[in-house]
């Protein structure tokens, strides 16, 4: 029960992260040490799993996909989306600088935490994968949305790409969907599923998501097993590169309105214009987020040492 509650809490944190534009639930999975198991569970949905379902071997099928791990995690994710979406929208709207400061501190410390656990490679060329990851992460969060066709093949592809981004640390799936010009199209279909051909659009998008996550998770799972250190460098780089999107002080360059809501298309990071009370609080919140992660790491390590000495 303790493990299930812990997984539920981690899923809740992942769900909260997914609500925030530019923050990935994959980052939370990465820093809470469930990323490998999550990839393993998703990648285990294969031909064998389907065959067991068709033969009504339900227990065997659920065991294969790590159901005891996925169930509490998914409950936590969807609970967060349902319960905290309004709260997150409120703080992002009313206190954007302080909210982004907290996330910037949390994710900065998380990148440091992950980097500390990378083994020093014998081949020094492996270090080049870190700036590669930084460059790709930075480029992804710097992309400008484009106009794209509403054809079913493109909707399928957009779903596959967006869902892949969601399981990559540092890259937001909803942000990628906005870049591909399909955020408004897909969300409008979800809000009115029985209008026009929206059901077919939703089905196409979901099939793209399913195809993308099953195939990409298998590739990621393979790479994490065969080239773990290089992938750790790349994924750490993704997180560092994505910090550009999370920097608290921004200047909006271009926006668009989708169903009465304003979405930012282009923005640039700036330094605080003045060191006033709001800026001081933002810096303090940033440090609180940073040291919160380090404190949790210290408590976790102390707990592990206690268990080892007891053993």
Question: Which token pair is 292?
Answer: 């919160």
Mean pLDDT of 157-182: 78
CA distance 210 to 159: 8
CA distance 119 to 212: 30
Q: Which residue is listed with tokens 């994490």?
A: 224
List of E strands, the chain: 250-258, 261-269
Closest to 83 in 3D by CA, of 168, 13, 151: 13
Closest to 167 in 3D by CA, of 241, 246, 221: 221
Q: What is the pLDDT of residue 156?
A: 93
Per-residue pLDDT of 202-220, as tens digits, reads 899 989 988 888 888 888 8
N-term to C-term CA, the chain: 22
User: In whole angstroms, how far apart are CA 228 and each of 36, 167, 179, 235?
Assistant: 10, 16, 30, 10
Q: What is the pLDDT of residue 297?
A: 67
Q: Is residue 102's pLDDT more than 80? A: yes
CA distance 61 to 44: 10
With beta carbons less than 8 A apart as the criterion, state whether 24 and 16 touch. no
Per-residue pLDDT of 219-265, as tens digits, reads 888 888 888 888 888 888 888 888 888 888 988 877 777 666 666 66
CA distance 185 to 18: 19
CA distance 179 to 172: 11
CA distance 281 to 260: 31
Question: Which token pair is 10?
Answer: 């981690």
CA distance 134 to 111: 11
Question: Which token pair is 289?
Answer: 């987020």
163-184 residues labelled b (16+ CB within 10 A) or e (exposed)? bbbbbbbbbbbbbbbbbbbbbb
Q: What is the pLDDT of residue 245?
A: 81
Percent of the chain with pLDDT over 90: 9
Per-residue pLDDT of 289-307, as tens digits, reads 888 877 766 765 665 565 5
Separate counts of helices (H) and strands (E) for the chain: 14, 2
């Amino acid at each position: 029960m303790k493990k299930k509650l812990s997984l539920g809490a981690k899923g809740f944190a992942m769900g909260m992260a997914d609500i925030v534009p530019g923050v990935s639930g994959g980052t939370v999975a990465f820093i809470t040490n469930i990323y490998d198991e999550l990839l393993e569970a998703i990648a285990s949905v294969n031909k064998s799993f389907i065959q067991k379902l068709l033969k009504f071997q339900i227990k065997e099928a659920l065991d294969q996909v790590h159901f005891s791990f996925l169930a509490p995690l998914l409950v936590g994710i969807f609970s967060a989306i349902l319960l905290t979406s309004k709260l997150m929208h409120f703080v992002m709207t009313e206190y954007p600088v302080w909210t982004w400061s907290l996330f910037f501190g949390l994710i900065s410390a998380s990148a440091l935490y992950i980097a500390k656990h990378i083994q020093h490679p014998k081949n020094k060329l492996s270090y080049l994968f870190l700036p590669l990851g930084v460059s790709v992460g930075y480029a992804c969060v710097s992309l400008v949305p484009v106009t794209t066709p509403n054809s079913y093949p493109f909707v399928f592809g957009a779903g596959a790409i967006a869902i892949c981004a969601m399981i990559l640390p540092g890259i937001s799936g909803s942000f990628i969907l906005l870049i591909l010009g399909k955020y408004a199209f897909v969300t409008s279909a979800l809000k009115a599923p029985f209008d026009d051909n929206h059901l077919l659009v939703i089905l196409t998008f979901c099939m793209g998501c399913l195809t993308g996550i099953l195939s990409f998770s298998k590739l990621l799972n393979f790479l994490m097993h065969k080239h773990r250190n290089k992938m750790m460098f790349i994924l750490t780089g993704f997180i560092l590169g994505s910090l550009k999107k999370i920097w608290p002080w921004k200047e909006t360059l271009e926006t668009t309105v989708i169903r009465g809501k304003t979405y930012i298309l282009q923005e640039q990071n700036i330094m605080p214009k003045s060191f006033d009370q709001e800026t001081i609080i933002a810096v303090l919140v940033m440090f609180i987020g940073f040291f919160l992660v380090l404190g949790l790491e210290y408590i976790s390590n102390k707990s592990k040492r206690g268990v080892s000495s007891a053993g």
